[in-house]
Amino acid sequence: MKQVQAVIFDLAGTVVDFGSFAPTTIFVEAFRRGFDFDITLAEARVPMGLGKWDHIKAVGELPEVAARWQSQFNRAMTITDIDTIYRTFMPLQIAKVADHAELIPQTERVVSELRSQLIKIGACTGYPRAVLDALLPALTANGFTPDCILATDDLAAGGRPGPYMALKNVIELCIDDVKTCVKIDDSVPGIMEGKNAGMWTVALLLSGNEAGMTLAQYEKADLTTLKKVRQRAQEAFQASKPDYMIDTIADLPRVIHEINGRLLQGERPS
């Protein structure tokens, strides 16, 4: 009988860093330090999930950002500019990433429940390896120890939305059927990564980038506020067509149970 064999987790906004603030705030700072150029936190969030160099490039291509850059510098952003911002970003992110390593509530319980079902735990991230290596000790200390974890620059083929990190997890975890794998992520490129790999995909609506709330804001929000934020996040994910959309990782076990039932019926990911 085919049942879920592995879950491949994203990191920021999925299992750590409620609201995905570690990368977004550093992008704002890197643009400012590199060129005395301001972007908003909302603009920094738009391409979330991509590798960080590609993320900087995508922010620079946003029409409103490109127009302000042209106005300030009398030219378009260049590859050299992107390289400069990336070089500024890296030490800032390495220094700060461990400050955002607190696990999202219920992560340990959910992972323990998955392991009790003999489900393997994989992970991948839009962080480059140097940033991931700075984060790993804090991840381990806080109780998240996946069986495999990959950074966006670990593979020559590249990162999201390509399937490569997800499929490398499949290989390293010795999974014999990709359709028994689940990819869970708070970003559209992360969902597309899972879909391109042929996995079930689960989008997170309230703990990650699309909602952009701190844990305190989430816990204090009333039902009306949560409904509005949830609807906004659902609209953001709509084009990527995830198989499931849930609020946080706490809701994952019921999804795994449903996927197991669908696998028994011979269904495949959408």
Band (pLDDT 50/70/90 cuts) for residue 270 is: confident
The pLDDT mean for the chain works out to 96
CATH topology of domain 6-20+100-264: Rossmann fold (3.40.50)
Q: Do the domains 6-20+100-264 and 21-98 sit in the same CATH topology, yes or no?
A: no
Q: Is the pTM of this model over 0.85?
A: yes
pLDDT of 175 > 70? The answer is yes
Strand spans (E) along the chain: 6-9, 120-124, 148-150, 181-185, 200-204, 244-246
Band (pLDDT 50/70/90 cuts) for residue 23 is: confident
Q: Render pLDDT for 38-86 as a digit per residue (tens, 0 to 9).
A: 999 999 999 988 899 999 999 999 999 999 999 999 999 999 999 999 9
pLDDT of 135 > 90? The answer is yes
Query: Residues with catalytic annotation?
Result: 10, 52
Beta strand pairing call for 181-185 and 120-124: unpaired
Structure confidence at residue 1 (pLDDT): 67
Band (pLDDT 50/70/90 cuts) for residue 158 is: confident
Please calculate the CA angle 139-141-142 and round it to the nearest 5 degrees: 65
**For the chain, what are the domain ranges?**
6-20+100-264, 21-98
* CATH number of the domain located at residue range(s) 21-98 in this protein: 1.10.150.240
